[in-house]
Amino acid sequence: MVVKTEAVVLKTVKYGDTSKIISVFTREYGKLSLIAKGARTSRSKFVSILNPMSCIQAVFYLKESRDIHLLSDASSSRVHKNIVGDPQKTMTGFVMLDALNTAVHTRESHPVLFDHLVEALDGLDRAERSPVNYLIAFLIALLREAGYGLKLDACVRCGGKLDREPLVFESQFGGFACGRCRSPDTTLTMAPNHLEALRWLERPSPEVWSRLSLEPVESLRIVHLLAGHLCRHVPGARRLRSLSLLESTVVG
């Protein structure tokens, strides 16, 4: 059957002399692979829109028996012209795609998560500073949608206020433990401003995300915390290999 849906391109692989196989996350049908015939020649109308992070309106033949479906038409659904060309934004976007790619399974539809991804990419495109904030916000949403949302309001062990340092992130309980009841062998101590940052970026309002100003090293620490949590809990999720590239781009 011919279907039409919004999609974000996750990755592309060369196929044959002129074609591309693209892995996309679609709003209606989840993650799947499409073959775009002739997409690598400069004459193809697909040539400049089928790249990682591209948001497209895709028309394709969905065949239940196939792993790869034939793309018949594609057009840009949103233009993000400020991401490619800005190395930090590009790498930040790649980590978003990496996280999504590892957390969702093929043909698992998740429109809410799709909207979060598009929202994060929109924000990343517009961001004038702190691009990594959009990644943190996306990872928080991704964890929540995967059923492993963070608990940020109280100590995960005693339920008390998180006001005594040092705070410890206890991944097995999905949140922070206060200074009174942290187990002695934990090493992942976090500063109160990490918790504040997470609370700020958990808010469902992208327009406030960029107002949070974090040192690059601090924001990467939070990204690592979230990526570790993702890897530990979400079934099938693996380590985000894109993180080291983001790190070298952000802190040099």
Partner 1 sequence: MLSTSPALESLITAFSRLPGIGRKTAQRMALFTLRQPRSEVEELITALQNVLERVRSCSTCFNITETDPCAICSSSRRNHGLVCVVEEPNDVFAIERTNDYKGVYHVLGGTLAPLDGIGPEDLRVRELIERVEKGMDEVILALNPTVEGEATTHYLSRLLKPLGVRVTRIARGIPVGADLEFADDATLVRALEGRIPV
Tell me phi and psi for residue 71, to 5 degrees: -80, 125
CB of 49 to partner 1, least distance (A): 7
Q: Which stretch binds partner 1 (CB under 8 A): 10-18, 56-64, 125-133, 157-165?
A: 10-18
Cα–Cα distance, 213 to 240 (Å, whole number) = 24
Q: Which of 11, 78, 144, 157 binds Zn ion (CB under 5 A)?
A: 157
Asked if residue 203 lies in contact with residue 217, where contact means CB atoms within 8 angstroms, the answer is no
Which member of 63, 79, 87, 215 binds partner 1 (CB under 8 A)?
Answer: 87
Contact residue for partner 1 among 94, 169, 176, 209 (CB under 8 A): 94
Q: Is 139 in the site for Zn ion (CB under 5 A)?
A: no
170 alpha carbon, distance to own chain's centre: 22
244 binds partner 1 (CB under 8 A): yes
Query: Which of the listed partners (Zn ion, partner 1, none) does 227 bind, with a CB threshold of 5 to 8 Å by partner kind?
Result: none
Rule CB under 8 A: is residue 6 a binding residue for partner 1?
A: no
Nearest of 100, 109, 192, 197 to residue 155 by alpha carbon: 192
**Which residues 51-70 are close enough to bind partner 1 by CB under 8 A?**
51-53
CA nearest to 139, candidates 103, 88, 86:
103
Minimal CA–CA distance to 168: which of 153, 150, 155?
155
Segment interacting with Zn ion, rule: CB under 5 A, options 59-67, 121-129, 176-184, 188-196: 176-184
Considering the complex, what minimum distance in angstroms separates the CB of residue 183 from Zn ion? 11
Q: Where in 174-203 is the site for partner 1 (CB under 8 A)?
A: none
Exactly one of 13, 158, 208, 217 binds Zn ion (CB under 5 A); which one? Answer: 158
Neighbours of 65 (CB within 10 A): 4
Nearby residues of 143 by Cβ (< 8 Å), 6 or more positions away:
149, 150, 226, 229, 230, 233, 234
What is the C-alpha separation between 38 and 248, in angstroms, rounded?
A: 35
Are 24 and 6 spatial neighbours (Cβ–Cβ below 8 Å)? no
* Nearest 10 degrees: Cα torsion 40, 42, 46, 47: 70
Does position 132 interact with partner 1 (CB under 8 A)? The reply is no
The answer to whether residue 178 forms part of the interface with Zn ion (CB under 5 A) is: yes
Min. distance of Cβ 47 from partner 1 in angstroms? 5
What does the binding site for partner 1 look like in residue numbers (CB under 8 A)?
10-12, 14-19, 39-42, 44, 46-53, 84-85, 87, 90-91, 94-95, 97-98, 101, 241-242, 244-246, 248-249, 252
What does the binding site for Zn ion look like in residue numbers (CB under 5 A)?
155, 157-158, 160, 178, 181
